[in-house]
Structure 1
């Protein structure tokens, strides 16, 4: 249950808090939104005695603020570019920032194609301690410089809370990777910032677990959350992950949060990225995040799944056709609008 309360009723609000404590109900109050989140609370006659209550929203799922019973759509602005609702956004760039030449060439391509978001890792979580782990702060600086020159917004991963201040300085969207989806302390802290959080699905995560991870950020007061399907692990080694296309319409049924797809990690193979990008778009995703590199064979991380510039331009043309076809369904409430191209 989410209780919306009236403003400037401090004494009455405190009485309501006392009632919740007396009933041994765990709750969280978000002052900025004037709401109380109390998942275990049920409507009863005692609640009606509190005049401070403006509205009660009953929600029967473990996640509350992420539920579409709370909100129907979410959108927000990132340096003049809108994300969410019926908009389709593309984020692209290399897995890792490697050199100035590499990141500026990529930024120039994205600018030429009208794409507004560049991704790139500066601090990389790698399975092996002997793999390239990014350029660190120098990578963030190069990414930021390229973004400024080509009017792009920066998306980069936050690996650890010790890096939050540094990454926050350069990022427009902070990405939480699959391994950190259930790093609850980090999610709590990201709920306190005023920048969007791109939350990737954990490689073993169920949908409810994923939405509860988003709830950690939302319940901290940060309403700018983007979900990202990036594939889940299976028993079959034939592909890096299983791209769960079906979760896209499922999330649309359960939540108001925008969801984008990562066909690069979802497949692990550049030859299959375009097909899964098209399928994700047709399934109703609010966007894509794609790994693109000027010379994938020389990439220092995830070279097998990075598309080259020509492949990426072809992918964009295919995706654009699908988005335009969906938008042409004038009677469809789910028609997307490609606002980045």
Structure 2
């Protein structure tokens, strides 16, 4: 599954840039925004026509009346246009209006029935379609949506990483959880993968760093919300930027080389990677030792009829490891997450020991 942009026959330079307002609001707003984006070199415009919102009463897009406005700016400025579709009726109206690119939103991706209905409505149609990751961090659900489109015969399928819901995250609107799009790309190397820093960040001041991270990870492009007057946008005002700010940001972004031909660089990099492999093996050996000690503690607990989980001990571990990490100039949040996983596995291991004891009785 998945063909590169080159295989799609696209001539757009790498990385692909899609930009435009969160929502198409009025003919004037759309025209002025597109005109300014074209001056910044943007050739593919995004714009919300139908907006699935969390709660009723929120602005849900102006609907199909925006489609003629889109047709007008496409003709006037020679741009391609991308919109979100959430059901077969949206698909039909978009195709009738000569929309160039479709995407399935995060709220739709979570529902296989919805994705299947959209896939069925696109059978026999050759149009690029992207699938945003589901709201929750579920890679299988994301892959399943892409597979449904593939099985419907669509040839130009791509993915959009827009971050994942996480109530623990106080920085981002949606946590990047970079390991999930990386795993998707590992499974499907040819699948075009673009990043949506606007929905990850929820704030315009964070956009640059997230966009740069995506390019550093060799994403194929970016889709960014841009509005002529972001502060007065009808939806998602805080995460949109003016076309001028967008142009400046795109100019500052660094595009990394993927396969440098410098033999000395390759040799030195392989040496470092070899050392990383050695350290990783040592880490696993240390982790094995730790789990063996966890097992010993579990045996001791069951002999003395002691509960597996002891909150005071966990609080001490959680606090001290974070402090140790900070002293060693490691990211404390990373270490907290790491020890949460280690602690969860330790409980599972001791639970198995307790259950074995019960079976013996």
TM-score, normalization: structure 1? 0.70
The counterpart of 1:136, out of the listed 63, 83, 87, is 63
**Aligned 8 A contact 2:25 2:234 in 1:** yes
1:251 to 184, 188, 198: 184
Give matches, 1:1-341, under 5 Å.
Answer: 65=1, 73=4, 75-77=6-8, 81-82=10-11, 87-170=14-97, 171-181=99-109, 182=111, 183-192=114-123, 193-236=125-168, 238=170, 239-255=172-188, 256-319=190-253, 322-323=254-255, 325-326=256-257, 329-330=260-261
Whole-Å separation in 2 of the counterparts to 1:208 and 1:142: 37
Superposition deviation, residue 310 in structure 1: 3.0
Tell me, which stretches of 5 or more residues in structure 2 are unaligned?
Answer: 264-361
Aligned-pair CA distance for 1:145? 1.2
Q: Are the aligned partners of 1:202 and 1:210 in contact in 2 as well (CA < 8 Å)?
A: yes
Deviation at 1:131, TM superposition (A): 1.4
Task: Tell me the distance in 2 between the aligned counterparts of 1:90 and 1:118.
Answer: 9
Q: Which residue of 2 aligns with 1:61?
A: none
Give every structure 1 segment of 4 or more consecutive aligned residues whose post-TM-superposition deviation is greater than 6 Å.
none
Higher normalized strand content (fraction of residues)? 1
For residues 220-242 of structure 1, the C-alpha deviation after alignment (integer angstroms, 9 at most, x for no partner) is: 11011110000001122523110
Q: Distance in 2 between matches of 1:330 and 1:109?
A: 38
Aligned to 1:38: none
On the 8 A contact 2:163/2:176 being kept in 1, the answer is yes
Q: Deviations over 1:176-232 (max 9, x none)?
A: 000111323224325512111111001114222211210000011101111000000
Over 3 Å counting, the alpha-carbon distance change for 1:257 and 1:328 in structure 2 is closer
- Pick closer, same or farther for the CA change 1:249–1:205 going to 2, 3 Å: closer
Report which structure shows greater RCO (CA 8 Å, sep ≥6): 1
Deviation, structure 1 residue 75: 3.7
Q: 1 or 2, which has the higher helix percentage?
A: 2
Structure 2: distance between partners of 1:211 and 1:167: 24
* Alignment CA distance shift 1:276-1:190 (3 Å): farther
Q: Which secondary structure does the structure 1 equivalent of 2:19 belong to?
A: strand
2-structure distance, mates of 1:331, 1:231: 35
Q: Describe the shift of the 1:149–1:253 C-alpha distance in structure 2 as closer, same or farther (beyond 3 A).
A: same
Residues 213-222 or 234-243, more deviating: 234-243
Matches of 2:155 and 2:68, distance apart in 1: 27
Say what the alpha-carbon RMSD is for the aligned residues. 2.2
Unpaired runs of 5+ residues, structure 1, are: 1-64, 333-341
CA–CA separation in structure 1 for the residues paired with 2:228 and 2:5: 34
Residues 16-58 of structure 1 show CA distances to partners (whole Å, capped at 9, x for unaligned) of xxxxxxxxxxxxxxxxxxxxxxxxxxxxxxxxxxxxxxxxxxx
Q: Distance in 2 between matches of 1:149 and 1:312?
A: 22
Q: CA deviation at 1:328?
A: 8.4
Conserved? CA contact 1:117–1:152, under 8 Å: yes
Aligned partners of 2:25, 2:226: CA distance in 1, in Å? 13
Instruction: State the number of aligned residues.
Output: 256
Q: What is the alpha-carbon distance in structure 1 between the residues aligned to residue 105 and residue 58 of structure 2?
A: 17
| TM-score w.r.t. length of structure 2 | 0.66
Distance 1:188-1:167 versus aligned 2 partners, 3 A rule: same
Q: Please state how far the C-alpha of 1:326 moved relative to its aligned partner.
A: 2.2
1:82 Cα deviation after fit: 3.5
**3-state DSSP of counterpart to 2:210:** helix
CA–CA separation in structure 2 for the residues paired with 1:291 and 1:306: 5
- Of structures 1 and 2, the larger Rg is shown by 2
